[in-house]
Amino acid sequence: MTVAVIQFGGSNCDRDSVRALSHLGIDAERVWYEDGLPDDATGVMLPGGFSYGDYLRAGAMAGRTPILASIREAAAEGLPVLGVCNGAQIGCEAGLTPGAFTVNRSARFQCERIHVRVENADTPWTAAYDEGAVLELPIAHGEGRFEADDDTYDRLVEEDRILLRYCDADGDVTDAANPNGSRDNVAGVLGSQETVAVMMPHPERATLPDLGGTDGTGLLRGFERTTTTV
């Protein structure tokens, strides 16, 4: 099992992601985007960073590179894909997941620890937690405000595809606990298959006690829980 962590020019969480996955015993390697999706990939992680310098819109250019077309095809056949932060932006831009991540309500880059509530624990990414579990994770983004048109949003809610919402330490989803102004505090969503997920918080930065917690571990273990490989 090898998770391909895709590196674009401007990615900056690719090494951390490989290290975090390896630390959990999940085989992972960095793949330069121009080299294409390896045949033996058992999963794809789109890591954080500033692909193409966030020019145009964060993730817009990386989302249109040929490797994303291969990832989209493989994802449709069941390959697990996790997009984190810039990877989440890329995932939405590539149409792997609905909606968009746009400029924070503060119009500033925000780097802080936040809480999220697990909204659907019946997915490979959240199976380690109970529904309603509160996780403490870091965020670091300027364009993390989740937006979707009403039809798209209603469909996401109806189909139980909201994965995580920003909340306070007690699990209450309030506007004060919404760091970036995301629609109804959405921090992560599923694609049309539960094997595809994107989220703004960084689970790979929450896998070691010395780095401030391990709440992200279960999310990354989603790669172990997805049985379909392409």
Ligand X SMILES: NC(=O)CC[C@H](N)C(=O)O
Closer of 87 and 193 to ligand X (Cβ): 87
Closer of 125 and 194 to ligand X (Cβ): 125
* CA gap 26, 221 in Å, rounded: 8
Q: Which of 13, 85, 92, 167 is catalytic?
A: 85
Any contact of residue 14 with ligand X (CB under 6 A)?
no
Any contact of residue 91 with ligand X (CB under 6 A)?
no
Task: Tell me if residue 92 is catalytic.
Answer: no
Closer of 215 and 224 to ligand X (Cβ): 215
Any contact of residue 54 with ligand X (CB under 6 A)?
yes
Q: Minimum distance between the CB of residue 151 and ligand X, rounded to whole angstroms?
A: 25
Any contact of residue 85 with ligand X (CB under 6 A)?
yes
Any contact of residue 4 with ligand X (CB under 6 A)?
no
Any contact of residue 49 with ligand X (CB under 6 A)?
yes
Any contact of residue 93 with ligand X (CB under 6 A)?
no
Using the contact rule CB under 6 A, the part of the chain among 42-50, 115-123, 170-178, 179-187 near ligand X is 42-50
Q: Minimum distance between the CB of residue 141 and ligand X, rounded to whole angstroms?
A: 4
Write out the chain in H/E/C secondary structure.
CEEEEEECCCECCHHHHHHHHHHCCCCEEEEEHHHCCCCCEEEEEECCECHHHHCCCCCCCHHHCHHHHHHHHHHHCCCCEEEECHHHHHHHHCCCCCCEEECCCCCCCEEEEEEEEECCCCCCCCCCCCCCCEEEEEEEECCCEEECCHHHHHHHHHCCCEEEEEECCCCCCCCCCCCCCCHHHEEEEECCCCCEEEECCCHHHCCEHHHCECCCHHHHCHHHHCCCCC
Q: Which of 92, 115, 167, 202 is catalytic?
A: 202
Active site residues: 85, 202, 204
Query: Which positions lie near ligand X, rule CB under 6 A?
Result: 48-50, 54, 58, 85-86, 109, 140-144
